[in-house]
Structure formats: C-alpha cells, structure tokens
Structure 1
Amino acid sequence: MDDLIILKCALHKIDIEASKPIEIALDINAEGLKQYTMLVLHELLESSRSRYFEFLANEELTSSILSIPSIPSVPSMLSSMVDDDCEWDRCSSLIANKLYEVEVLVQEKIQRLTNIRAGCLLQIKLSHADRISFIIVKIDHSDFLDESDLTIKSGLPTSKTRLQKAAIISLGEEKEIKDVVISDSKPTITEYWYLHFLVARQLTDSKHNTKSAFNAIDKLLKDEVKNVSPADYWFIRNDVVSYFRNEDSLVFDELVEKIEKHTIESKDLIPKFDSFIESFKKLPKSTRMPFDTQFDLDTGVIKTRINRKVVLDDNFELRINGEVDDLRSKVKASEDDGGKYIKIYSDKGYEEFKTGGGH
C-alpha cells in the first residue's frame, strides 16, 4: 500500500441517543490520523471477511422499507464527491445523517430485542494504483483513561475488534462504481447496513456460495490430504461437514482457524500441512468457482454432497452420512494376529451382532 494516498477524511459520532450525528473535526495532515487510518485500511484490505455487493438502481430505492426519501442515495453522493472536493463536506455529512436515521428506525423496529451499538462513521476518499476508492466504516467509540493526565477521554480504540461494519467502494478507469465489498464483525452481514443504509444487494446468493465453498474445500482435501493420510482426510472432512451443517453463516477466517487446530494423525502429513493450510486460505479466489468469505449457509445444497462411503471388503461398505460427533473416539484402526481391522463403537451394531450372552 505504498502508493496509497488519503485524499479526504471525515468522522462523525453516530449515537441514536443523541439528536443527530456529531462531526468530529479532523486534520487530514495530522500524523496520528494518518497512522490510525492506515491501520484501519490495512485491516480492511487484508480482511478475510467480505462479500461482493452491487448498489441498487435509483428507481429501486423505495424497495427498502427503511429508505430515507429526504436523503440522496449513497452511490449518488459518492459520485458527487469523485471529482468535486467541494462536495465532500456536504455529502459526507449527508451519508452520516442517513446512517443515523436508519439506525433510529431500526432501533424502533427491534425495540427491546437488542440495542444498536454507538460508534463513529469514518469516511475516506483515497487513491490507490491510480484509482479512486471510498471507505465507509463504522468503528467503536469508547472512553479511556489518559495516562498522561489521568483523565477520562473519548476516542477510537486500536484493537482489531474495533471495526463494526465496513464497505469498500472501488471505481473503474471511467470513475464508474466497479466493486462494492461489504464486511461485518458479526458472522452475518447486518441487513440494515447493506440493504437500508447502502441499499445494495448481494452479487452471489447463499446457495451458490455454499455449493462453491464446500466443493472447493472437498476437492482440496482429496488433492492434498487424502493420498497422504486418509485418516486425516476423514477427520478434517468431518469437521468441515459439521461446520457447514451446524453454523448459520460461514466466516472463512473462523473455518481456517478451526482447520489449523487439527490434530495430525499421520507423521507423513506433518511436512505438508502448512502448505495445505496456505492453499486452504487462498480457496475463495483461487478456485474455479470463487466464493465470498462471509455469507449465510444454505445447508440444503450440500445434503447429497456430504455422504461418503469407505469400501471395507467385498460386500462391505461403511457409509458416512453427514458429520459424526467425536469421530476419533468412535472409529479406531488397528491390527492383531488376524490382520488389520477397524473398531466401531456402536450400541445398535452391538445388538445386531452380539452372540451368546452378549459378553
């Protein structure tokens, strides 16, 4: 990001308990602001939680039940700010007002279910690789103890959990809106952020994302793990199936962390495991059918894909239908004087094959 230049920056405190957004004056040349902005940008651009969207056409804005007719759409305001820096103050304030109005309406709808977190809306206009981009991000705002004079002050935290919601809008060569990438600190991207505030729709639906992600992961496991260590293949695959079956949303960095913690069964996989994890991390963009890194899971599309069978011997097959709770403790492979075997702990199987007194 050496060629990244911050052109404009605006900060507004958004708290529905207040009567309106509060603009916080910024000195764009201040070194502290530059450092903080670069921290935020680095985290956003390197984030593994994102989903591609597109802005809805202006005539479709009324489809949002929380649209604010008195405030122009976000893309129209961004278009005004592309070439005309004089429009920055007016439009960035309007964008902050729109988020405030939307959050007030959302809070009224959800009432006592939960409270929308207060925060600050940071808006950035930047140049990167000779292209213009806009960053719109809601960040936590909190009190802290100033060590220099031991007074309570307010400010923006620097921890990785500071980012609540974000949107990166990239422009093309003709300064047209090319990409809209949205992310959220929650497992699911909040509807009011993308639909009612930004008024955007997902480019790729959950069904396509779920199918593409599962198929890509399954293929990678076959290509890089199964031939090296079948046991590790089945255990990792079982963890993946469990995630897809039991989680409401896929958050790719969480799934990566889960697989990284896998306890390796075969020493043959140890020197290849790091390479496998690196390939795993690149899957969303490297696979033939790319997928988003944060989306709602559609479990219906993988029902027929999770079943697998293991040929044990002539006329014997072990069918694995979905995830198996604690697979390691239920299936054991060993050998004795009679040869190699697998032991499966099963009360039902025991009742079917027990002989004599059952002991």
Structure 2
Amino acid sequence: METIFINLFKIDLNLEQCTKESFTDKYNIQKYLSELLDAIVSSSGDREYEFDETLMTTKNRILSIVKNLDEQIKQNECILLAQKLLVTELDVQKKIQKLNVEIQKGILVIAAAKITDADYKFIITKADYAEFVEEITGNTKSGLPLKKKIFKSFIADIKYANNDYTFQRIVTYDSNINHSVYWWKSFLELKELRDNTTNTKKAFELINNTVLAPLQKDHKTDYIKLWNSTVAYFRTKGEFDITYYAENVIGNYIPYDDSLEMSPLKTKITELQNKNKFDNKFEKDPLSITNRMKKELKLTNEIDLVIKQDIPNLSSIIKPKEEDGKKYIMVLSTDGYEYAKGL
C-alpha cells in the first residue's frame, strides 16, 4: 500500500474551529499514521453503505480530491470536509448536551492510498487527539491499543477504469456501540446497504446453514448446544457483532466430543465475514426470525421433538437415559408427565 495523499485537522468543539495540523517530527507522525492507516485498511469494517444520491456533497468532494492533480484543490476540498464535520458535530453536541454526553475532541485524518495501478482506498478517520499528540511527540502515556484510539472511520474502495473513478465498496467503523448516525448519515451522506431485518435474517441463515448444520451428522450433542446458544444470542435485542459471536459464543465453547475442533468453526465465521452477505455489526431484529428459530429433532419415525426457541439450562431440561440396553430421552415436563403417567 502506497499512501499518496494525507491531511490532518484538529476538530475542536470547545473553540468551534477546525485547524490544519502540521508537526515538525516527521518520523513519529509518519510512523503513527502508517500504523493507523494499515489498521483501518486491514479492517473489514462494521457496516456497508452506499452514497445517498440525493446528497452528493461529500461524494463529490472525495472524487475531486482523487481526480485532481492540483494540490491546492485537494487541500481546499479537505478543508471543506473538515469544516462540514465541525458544523455537524456542533449541531449534534447542542442536541445531546442535556444528557451530559460530550463528543470527543479528535484528529481528523483524510487520506488516499494506492493498492494497485487501478485500485485505491480513500480514508476518513477520526482518532483520539490526545493519543495522537502523545504518539508523535514520543511522550506516550496510556499505551492504548491502536484500535482503541480510532473513534470512527470511513473506507471507500475506488477503482480507476476507462479514465474514470468509481466507488466499489464503502464501509465504516465506529467505536460507539450505537454507531453515531451523524457520522455516516449527516457528515458522510451515506445510506445503509442493508437494514437490520435483512442483516438479521441473512446472518442467522448463513450461520445456521454453514457453521452449525454440518455438525448435526457426527456431533449431535455439540450441535444442539451450539444451536441453542446461537438462538439465545440472536433472540436477545441489542447489537450483533460477528467478532463477539466468533470469539465468545463459538470460541469459548468446550466441546462434548473431543474430536470436534473449534478453530475451523471460527474460520468459517471469518469467511462469512468476507462474503459481504450481511454486515459485521447491526441491531438484531429477533421478531424477523422467530419462525426460523424452531428446531425439529427426529426421535423415531413416529415422534419428533420440536424446540421452539433456545432453552436456558438445556442440560437440566433434556437428559439422556440408558436402561437394559435401551436408550431414551427424558424431557422435564409436568404437562408431558400427565400424558405419560398412565402409559
């Protein structure tokens, strides 16, 4: 990756101004920015977007920066983008000040990187200003991991073909769990490629079919336990985070069957992450997949066990029993007992 353009601005809401930043220590600043851009570019992002074609200001400014050879034009467009973010954040700050919430002061990085002769990445990111100053002055104190220093990012893949530049894929990253609407909608003028319902349905379908279903043949106990915990995760409201799902719901599971390796399952989830069928983070919509959560397990040719949703303490509700060489399944059920006690 070759960085071909970079500009820095301090966004200060207290002073209500954005200022172009320059520093004498070129080595530290280049090192910091190189690490920052590498981390952003290698990220798969949280959510995929496209530009709102009714709002073209940000898109046109980015294209102007990419297309123009005139450095002064590039600088002016960057200044206008920084000023737009300042105005946007000032407006939001007025609305949330009663909540005792404050938008963090940050360093705005606007950069373009060349990947191949035809492929470029355009990056707009807001990072922790205090951390930035500490890094480039060599006075690092907190030692935060790089990802923690990044508040928000915009990464656009741009292709040059037939003497024109076109946007291929646009993703954002946001350290705020609620994904600040002002960043992607008001400032960047984007719209979500997929809504929460579409994301929920597609994520559950692919995880169920690709990651879990193959386990059912040879690892039935592990399959039903992982299916149960996956349904529990999807059935609770809140944010879906594919990294959290991979590392905690799947990654922390200890298999009943020693022959089941968990690493390949996590790899499958990572591969799903790269297929762009659903976003890596979104607000779950449990009601949209209620019917898909039902699981039917064949017990005999005449009897199926239907599980309508996840079961807390699954192992205390469903138990195996073996007696006189015969195998049974026991289900804790007062109503079921009433049906069966006279058989």
Q: TM-score, normalised by structure 2?
A: 0.86
1:116-146 Cα distance to aligned partner (Å, 9 max, x none): 2222211112211122321001112236997
Pair 1:260 & 2:269 matched: no
What corresponds to 1:317 in structure 2?
A: 304
1:322 & 1:44 partners in 2: Cα distance? 38
Structure 1 segment 192-207 matched on structure 2, within 5 A? 192-207=182-197
Q: Deviations over 1:148-202 (max 9, x none)?
A: x9x9889995532111111012222222333221121233432111110001101
**Correspondence for 1:101:** 87
SS at 1:112's partner residue?
Answer: helix
Alignment match of 1:110 (pick from 55, 76, 96): 96
Alignment of 1:37-186 (within 5 A): 37-57=33-53, 60-61=54-55, 73-82=57-66, 83-84=68-69, 85-113=71-99, 114-130=101-117, 131-142=119-130, 158-173=145-160, 174-186=164-176
Map of 1:3-42 to 2, 5 A cutoff? 4-26=1-23, 30-42=26-38
Give the secondary-structure state (helix, strand or coil) at the position aligned to 1:81.
helix
In structure 2, relative to structure 1, the CA distance for the partners of 1:7 and 1:191 (3 Å cut) is: same
1:225 matched to 2:215 = yes
User: SS of 1:92's equivalent?
Assistant: helix
Structure 2 residues without counterparts, runs of 5 or longer: none
Asked if 1:250 corresponds to 2:240, the answer is yes
The corresponding residue for 1:190 is 180
Q: 1:234 to 1:136 in 2, by over 3 A?
A: same
Q: Distance in 1 between matches of 2:131 and 2:171?
A: 30
AA at the equivalent of 1:285: N
CA distance in 2, matches of 1:317, 1:171: 53
Distance in 2, matches of 1:154 and 1:76, equals 39
Q: How far apart, CA to CA, are the structure 2 residues paired with 1:192 and 1:138?
A: 13
Distance (Å, rounded) in 1 between the aligned partners of 2:297 and 2:62: 56
Q: Verify the 8 A CA contact 2:318 2:329 in the aligned structure 1.
A: yes
TM (norm. structure 1) is: 0.82
Q: Assess, with a 3 A threshold, how the Cα gap between structure 1 residues 347 and 33 changes in structure 2: closer, same or farther.
A: farther
Moved over 4 A (4+): 143-147, 151-158, 346-355
Alpha-carbon distance, 1:326 to partner:
2.6
Aligned-partner residue type, residue 78 of structure 1:
I
Aligned 8 A contact 2:237 2:286 in 1: no
* Kept after mapping to 1: 8 A contact 2:238/2:284: yes
The structure-2 alpha-carbon separation of the partners of 1:144 and 1:81, relative to structure 1 and needing over 3 Å to count, comes to: closer
Give yes or no for contact 1:143–1:152 (8 Å, CA) kept in 2.
Answer: no
Which deviations, in whole Å up to 9, do the C-alpha atoms of 1:70-127 show, x marking residues without a partner? xx82212112211232222222122111111111111212232232222221111221
> What is the CA RMSD across the aligned residues, in angstroms?
3.0
From 301, 307, 332, give the equivalent of 2:288.
301
**Distance (Å, rounded) in 2 between the aligned partners of 1:146 and 1:217:** 42
Look up the equivalent residue of 2:263 and give its one-letter code. D
In structure 1, distance between residues paired with 2:309 and 2:315: 15
Are 1:285 and 1:291, in contact at CA under 8 Å, matched by a contact in 2?
A: no
Q: Give the alignment partner of residue 267 of structure 2, picking from 278, 281, 285.
A: 278
In percent, how many aligned pairs have the same letter?
26
Q: 1:119–1:217: structure 2 CA closer, same or farther, 3 Å change rule?
A: same
Query: How far apart in 2 are the matches of 1:178 and 1:241?
Result: 34
Q: State the alpha-carbon separation in 1 of the partners of residues 41 and 334 from structure 2.
A: 51
